[in-house]
Structure 1
Amino acid sequence: MPDRPAYLRIAELLRDQIRDGRYPQGARLPTMAELCAAHGVSEIVVRQAIARLRGEGLVQTRRGGGTIVRVAPPVRRVAMDRYRTVTRPMAVPATTFTHDQRISWDEYRLDREYTRTRADTDLAGLFEAAAGIEVLRRRFVFYARGEPQQISVNYLPWDVVGDTPVADPEREPWPGGTLAQLSFLGHPPTRVEEAVRARMPTPEEAETLRMSGGVPVVTITRRMLSGPRVLEVCRDIVIPADRVVLDYAIDI
C-alpha cells in the first residue's frame, strides 16, 4: 500500500495537537515556513493540510495573521418544553429565543423582512392547503448580545394575519413570539411539530451568521397547529450546528 499523502499526515498531526490541547482555542499554528521545514515538504502541501483543517471547522486563516485555532462558540441546549415556557404568564418580556439564549429583552435584537406572497406546492402541502394560498412570509435574523445566532423564515395564512398588528413589522419583536401572536388573534397553538435536518449552509447563511468554513447548520422545519388547522409553517429555522444541542424528551 502506498504511503498516505503528506498533506493528510500533516493535517492529522495538527488535528491531534489541537485536540490534545497543544494548540488551544485562539492559538496560532506554526507559520507556513516552519511547517514546511519541520515536515520537509513544499508550501503547496502545507496549504493543502491547512485547507483540510479549515474545511473541518478547526482553524481559521487570517490575512496577515496566520492560521488560528478556531474558538468554538458556547453551545446552548434547546428543548421542546421551551414552547410551554413562553405560554405561561411572564413577569418580563421573553420569547423562545431569549429563553434559549438566556438573555434579557435588552440583549435581544431582531432583523425582519415581511412579504405578502403565495404558497408553492411544497409549502401548501405543509399547510395542508391548496397551492397558491396567500401567506405572509417573514424572514428574521435573531441576535443575542449583538451576535447573529439564528435565521428563521416563517409563513402565516394571510386570511388570519392580514390587516392585523401581526402583519406589521414595526411591532417586532413581539413578547412571546409567534405563539403569543396566534393567541392574540384568537388561535392559541395546541400542537407544535418539528422536523430536524443537517446540511451545509448557503453562502448567504454563512455570511449572515458569521460562520467559519466547514461548519454545517441544523435546520428545523416547524408547524404550529391550533386544533386541526396549521397556522404557521417555519421553513426553516437555521442554526449553526456547533452552537446548539437539541434536547427532546418523550413521556411514555
Structure 2
Amino acid sequence: MPDRPAYLRIADALREQIRGGVHPPGARLPTMTELGAEHGVSGIVVRQAIALLRGEGLVETRRGGGTVVRVTPPARRVAMDRYRAFARPAAPAAPATTFTRDHGIGWNEYRLDKEFTRTRATGELAELFELPAGTELLRRRFVFYSRGEPQQISVNYLPWDLVGDTPVSDPAREPWPGGTLAQLSFLGRPPTRVEEAVRSRMPTPEEAETLNMAGGVPVFAVTRRMLSGAEVLEVCRDIVIPADRVVLDYAIDLSH
C-alpha cells in the first residue's frame, strides 16, 4: 500500500492533537509556514490539510488571526422531559420557555426573530396534521438567540381556524412565556402529547448563514407534533439545531 498523501497525514496529526487537547478550543494552530517546515511540505499541501479540517468543522480560519480550533460549547436539550415544566397553564415564577431553560438563560438574554404568514397545507403538512390538503394554516418562522448568538431555527404551523384573529397570531406578542404549549393552553386546548422525530442532515446555505455555522457541520432536524387527545394542534417542520451545539438526552422509565 502506498503512503497516504501528505495532506491527509498532516490532517490526521492535527486532528489527533485537537482531540487530545494539545490544541484546545480557541487555540491558534501553528502557522502555514511552521507546519510546512515541520512536515517538509509546501504551503499548498498544508492548505489542503487545513481545508479538510475546516470542512469537518474542527477549525476556522480568521482573517489576520490565523487558524484556530473551533469553540463549540454544547447546550443540553433534554428531549421530551423538557416539555413537562410547561404542560400546565400556571405561569412559572419568571418568564421562560423550553429554549431558555435548555440554555440556562434569563428572559433578558433571550431574543426571538419572527416571521408570520398565512399559507395552505401541502400534501406533507396535511398528512402530519391529518387534515385535507389546502387547509389554511398560520406559518411562523422563528430564529432563537441566546446571549446574542443564533442557536436554533423553528418553522411551525397552526390551523388558522384555531389561531386566526387571536393573540397567538400576532407576532408582536412574541416571545410568549411558555412558548407554543402555553399558547395552546391559552386557547383552551392544552396539549396532552408531544411527538418528535429526529434526523440529521447537512444545513441549507440559508440555515448555515443564519446560525453562523462552520463548514462541514450537520444539523439535527426535528419534526414535532403537539396533540390534544387525537387532534393535531401544531406541526413544527422543522426545528433546526447545529449538531455540534446540542446533546439530545432520552430517558425511558421502565417501572410500572
Q: Deviations over 1:79-121 (max 9, x none)?
A: 3111110124311111111111111111111110000001110
Q: How far 1:135 sits from its partner (Å)?
A: 0.2
Q: How far 1:78 sits from its partner (Å)?
A: 2.1
Q: How far 1:248 sits from its partner (Å)?
A: 1.6
AA aligned opposite 2:15: R
Map 1:165-184; keep pairs closer than 5 Å. 165-184=167-186
Aligned to 1:231: 233
Q: Deviations over 1:198-242 (max 9, x none)?
A: 111111111111112221111110000011110100000011111
Q: Equivalents in 1 of 2:109, 2:37: separation in Å?
A: 48
Q: Equivalents in 2 of 1:112, 1:75: separation in Å?
A: 22
Aligned to 1:194: 196
Contact between 1:78 and 1:244, CA under 8 Å: does it hold in 2? no
Contact between 2:59 and 2:68, CA under 8 Å: does it hold in 1? yes
Secondary structure in 1 matching 2:124 = helix
Q: Equivalents in 1 of 2:56, 2:150: separation in Å?
A: 21
5+ residue gaps in structure 2?
A: none
Deviates more, 1:69-78 or 1:203-212: 69-78
1:8 and 2:8 are equivalent in the alignment = yes
AA aligned opposite 1:36: G
Contact between 2:87 and 2:191, CA under 8 Å: does it hold in 1? no
Q: Deviations over 1:32-59 (max 9, x none)?
A: 1121222121222111100111111111
Aligned to 1:99: 101
Contact between 1:36 and 1:42, CA under 8 Å: does it hold in 2? yes
Aligned to 1:75: 75
Contact between 1:191 and 1:226, CA under 8 Å: does it hold in 2? yes
Deviates more, 1:78-87 or 1:7-16: 78-87
Q: Equivalents in 2 of 1:158, 1:77: separation in Å?
A: 30
Q: 1:161 aligns with which of 160, 163, 173?
A: 163
Contact between 1:75 and 1:242, CA under 8 Å: does it hold in 2? no
1:65 and 2:72 are equivalent in the alignment = no
Q: Deviations over 1:143-202 (max 9, x none)?
A: 111111111000000010111110000011111110111111111101100000011111
Q: Equivalents in 2 of 1:221, 1:109: separation in Å?
A: 22
Could you tell me the TM-score, scaled by structure 1's length? 0.97
Q: 2:112 aligns with which of 100, 106, 110?
A: 110
AA aligned opposite 1:154: N
Q: How many residues align?
A: 252
The runs of at least 4 consecutive aligned structure 1 residues that moved more than 4 Å come to: none
Q: Equivalents in 2 of 1:158, 1:4: separation in Å?
A: 59
Aligned to 2:49: 49
Contact between 2:75 and 2:102, CA under 8 Å: does it hold in 1? no
Contact between 1:7 and 1:48, CA under 8 Å: does it hold in 2? yes
Contact between 1:86 and 1:94, CA under 8 Å: does it hold in 2? no
Aligned to 2:153: 151
RMSD: 1.1
AA aligned opposite 1:146: G
Contact between 1:59 and 1:69, CA under 8 Å: does it hold in 2? yes
5+ residue gaps in structure 1?
A: none
1:142 and 2:144 are equivalent in the alignment = yes
Q: Equivalents in 1 of 2:119, 2:67: separation in Å?
A: 45
Contact between 2:151 and 2:211, CA under 8 Å: does it hold in 1? yes
Deviates more, 1:20-29 or 1:231-240: 20-29
Q: Equivalents in 2 of 1:186, 1:203: separation in Å?
A: 39
AA aligned opposite 1:50: I
